[in-house]
Structure 1
Amino acid sequence: MTVCFQNEHIPLMEKSRDTYATYPKYLVSEFATITYAKNRGQNNEAVINKAPYPGLTDTIRSGKEP
């Protein structure tokens, strides 16, 4: 698996999606609790620019800004 910044590849991804079959699709039954949600706008490079620090979820649940 290669991980990269997807925005650079969106045109290729859209072309591939429209050109090639995307099946079989599998439904993975998983769930999680959303601990924090805030709209920071589209294409905001500052949103996820580093790894989470230990205790991040505790900070969020206490009502403090991370």
Structure 2
Amino acid sequence: MGSSTTRQNKKFEEALALFDKETPDRWHNIAMCVGGKSAEEVRRHYELLVKDIMQIENGQENCH
């Protein structure tokens, strides 16, 4: 999410738990909870986190 604050990251985590994959307008809802981020920004942030987790699980280093 670019330059996210600790507070935004916490809100992102909470919203992610609240709005699962089946939730209509999931990324819009999460963005509204986070504040200051678009639906596209929170979706990209999520995708980067998933990629990081996959790399860690595969024993690769995370460099971003």
User: For this structure pair, what is the TM-score category when the shorter chain's length is used for normalisation?
Assistant: under 0.3
Instruction: Indicate the structure (1 or 2) with the bigger Cα radius of gyration.
Output: 1
- With normalisation by structure 2, the TM-score equals 0.25
- With normalisation by structure 1, the TM-score equals 0.25
Larger relative contact order, structure 1 or 2 (CA cutoff 8 Å, min sep 6):
2
Structure with greater helix share of residues: 2
